[in-house]
Structure 1
């Protein structure tokens, strides 16, 4: 076992273990080449070229042997060489092998009552040289050729009654803390998060940059979303046993308004696969496998809707998520009827949630525009989607993997923004699918849209909506003080225009104010300064 020294360092007890292989040497001025020759002359068993190039505190780190005995012998040989000014042991603070080299300086802070004679006696005893005074009682000292090594000096000084602090200066390599992207294996197929112009080995039906800039947003803010942010998905059911919805994430307030339980699981007979897929797009967990949602770090509130769209049902859903603390609501659904204006009770229930939820900041509510290729507010033609045209709602249309309008996407003056999804001439969305099998009438069938735990063919405005909801979760993770109206405005200001047909206000009936740009949105959120136009 290597020699160890325990020090009080940074308010903790730090154990410095002497390296069994590495030593450090500093050359005399102008003798660098000769010191290299001395290093080359060591009879060590192995040579670490990376270690030889490592300079810490003016010392060159050298692999002097394969064992503690060999490296100590090598250090003594180097110390005797005329080209070497100082030779030092190297230390480690853990088994990661990162080297720490004592530079020779020691920070000493005496207690206020310490006399000058006491200070001088200690400095004389350890043959220390004063480098710098830091006030009346703190000094930076340097060891001399007659001093013990700096680590030993600091350890012994810490035992002196008149010394408050004694710490050796330890040089160690730094490392840039670059943000680590999720390692989930299907992330490479999620072109809607970052589109590099290739999908599953194909370069057709895809255009580089036709995406939501989500991965760029993660890098921008170095987060995958805050668990304080609660994203509610109201839909037909959720496979909370799916690894991308259950692992390494927070689930709160789950409720099933059909069964009246806190287990909103899909009904196989009704083929309730939709909610699982939508939740995967919004916040599928970063767990090292499968897919990743736009905001995998935020909390999920899975709400299985009730049996119909009556006033009482809709009121109950929106009151529940408001009272349970939801920040964002993703609603990839509407009425079955093409002509469905909202009654007063439904209108007020959504408005109350949007304006008074989240302690008065308002819940961000998003609705899918629908997939029937018609205007969402054209009473003369009999097409009115009361949910999507609600003034407090963000209506989301769809674009494809080539930055074109998805052929099915509904449109209208109330469309606020679009997001990448599937569509003619483009690729589908890979997301979570309901897992397992079901036995119905003696026949075993896989649950979900496709066999397995994932589907590659999700899409529609049903996918575009939770994607924007996930972006809103990143926005609020970056700045939780924003109101719902400010989040909505950020989406407008930062959207990137695709296609054509924009009016003088920058609005398109097909794309709203453009395609959602998560990177620009989080950057705007951090910078704040959002001005909400008067209604």
Structure 2
């Protein structure tokens, strides 16, 4: 038996692709890595699980246990000679249906000038043994967790990341595959621009392939989308949500309440919904439902000061995206020097210059 999972019932941070992902334990299951697939039968007799199934390439077994028995059964599994490794199962806080299964491997990239001997010493100090060098990335190695380890692979990786000699430390985790993400909002099947394959009125695949993008991200509140338009129904359910609305501004009324003033002022609400409509199992859903929303009501007229007001407000308040679904009431009307200047500033200095 190798690693002991000493994590608390609270969150645990997984280092993944240069980002930090928050995990929590699943209350009714754990995994084991066995000496052979045949060992699962004898272990079933010992643990008496509610269910058991293979995970990954078959190297792991997932055990479903009544929550009140979980910790005792996990401790018992770790004492069995056929169990090489045992760990809690975790789930993503941001996506609870996504389960994370730990293996006994960690990939570590050291700084370029660290010798292999020095790297080995660092790895051994936290209970790791080298499996192989990772081809294609200098000074990078795959390690396995040994019986000398006192923490689970996630905690070991986080401990290594705190060292100046380590550039990256990532545990090898198993995630079950799934079909492309589809929201449950009631009108989603009618949003042909997002999901053309489910409509008989438009050409198949005429959508923007958003479901493939959603498997990567659906946005986050840290990404602010500014929409400047004729006013916004801020009480609309698809524009609601904790942390959804940030830094609202009405440049026409000169206050922080950019609501529609006339019955014709519905363009802004529609455009905002298209961009960031909240995923709430009702109505529509936007392209980036997880993003926050900065509503900016325009004056209805375009001059240097009004254009500067829109973009300067968005820049100063942290907008990452600025949406402007309007134009001068003419086919061709060139931007002034001042307008070009503020647009250039937004492009080069917005998002902290990124």
TM-score range, shorter chain: 0.5 to 0.7
Distance 1:41 1:328 in 2: 65
**1:275 maps to what in 2?**
265
Counterpart pick for 1:318 among 302, 313, 319:
302
Q: Is 1:38 the equivalent of 2:42?
A: yes
CA contact (8 A) 2:99 2:175 kept: no
**1:22 maps to what in 2?**
30
Is the radius of gyration larger for structure 1 or structure 2? 1
**1:67 maps to what in 2?**
70
Change (3 A) 1:355 1:174: farther
Give the drift of 1:59. 3.4
Q: Is 1:216 the equivalent of 2:208?
A: yes
**1:351 maps to what in 2?**
333
Q: Is 1:148 the equivalent of 2:148?
A: yes
Give the drift of 1:54. 1.1
Alignment of 1:109-508 (within 5 A): 131-132=131-132, 147-149=147-149, 151=151, 170-174=171-175, 180=181, 183-189=184-190, 208-209=201-202, 213=206, 216=208, 218-219=210-211, 227-228=224-225, 230-233=227-230, 239-244=233-238, 248-249=244-245, 253-256=249-252, 261-262=254-255, 272-276=262-266, 278-284=267-273, 285-287=276-278, 288=280, 289-291=282-284, 299-303=294-298, 305=300, 317-319=301-303, 320-325=305-310, 328-330=324-326, 351-353=333-335, 357=339, 359=341
Give the drift of 1:275. 0.8
User: Structure 1: any 5+ residue segments left out of the alignment?
Assistant: 199-206, 306-316, 333-345, 363-479, 482-535
Change (3 A) 1:39 1:252: same
**1:512 maps to what in 2?**
none
Relative contact order higher in (CA < 8 Å, ≥ 6 apart): 2
CA contact (8 A) 2:29 2:88 kept: no
Q: Which secondary structure does the structure 2 equivalent of 1:325 belong to?
A: helix
Q: Which secondary structure does the structure 1 equivalent of 2:283 belong to?
A: coil
Q: Which secondary structure does the structure 2 equivalent of 1:290 belong to?
A: coil
Q: Which secondary structure does the structure 1 equivalent of 2:210 belong to?
A: helix
Q: Is 1:48 the equivalent of 2:51?
A: yes
CA contact (8 A) 1:104 1:149 kept: no
Give the drift of 1:249. 4.3
**Any idea what the Cα deviations from partners look like across 1:305-330, whole Å, max 9, x if unmatched?**
5xxxxxxxxxxx11154232366343
Give the drift of 1:115. 12
**Any idea what the Cα deviations from partners look like across 1:76-100, whole Å, max 9, x if unmatched?**
45x2xxxx4x432213567869454
Distance 2:343 2:126 in 1: 64
CA contact (8 A) 2:104 2:145 kept: no
User: Structure 2: any 5+ residue segments left out of the alignment?
Assistant: 312-322, 349-354
TM-score, with structure 2 as normaliser: 0.53
Q: Which secondary structure does the structure 2 equivalent of 1:67 belong to?
A: helix
Q: Which secondary structure does the structure 1 equivalent of 2:175 belong to?
A: coil
Q: Which secondary structure does the structure 1 equivalent of 2:333 belong to?
A: helix
Q: Is 1:103 the equivalent of 2:104?
A: yes
Distance 1:244 1:8 in 2: 31
RMSD, aligned CA: 6.1
Distance 2:50 2:14 in 1: 32
**Any idea what the Cα deviations from partners look like across 1:110-167, whole Å, max 9, x if unmatched?**
9x899979x78x97x99986544689998766577xx535748996xx79xx9966x9
Distance 1:192 1:169 in 2: 37
CA contact (8 A) 1:254 1:302 kept: yes
Distance 1:107 1:53 in 2: 27
**1:4 maps to what in 2?**
6
Distance 2:184 2:260 in 1: 28
Change (3 A) 1:239 1:304: farther
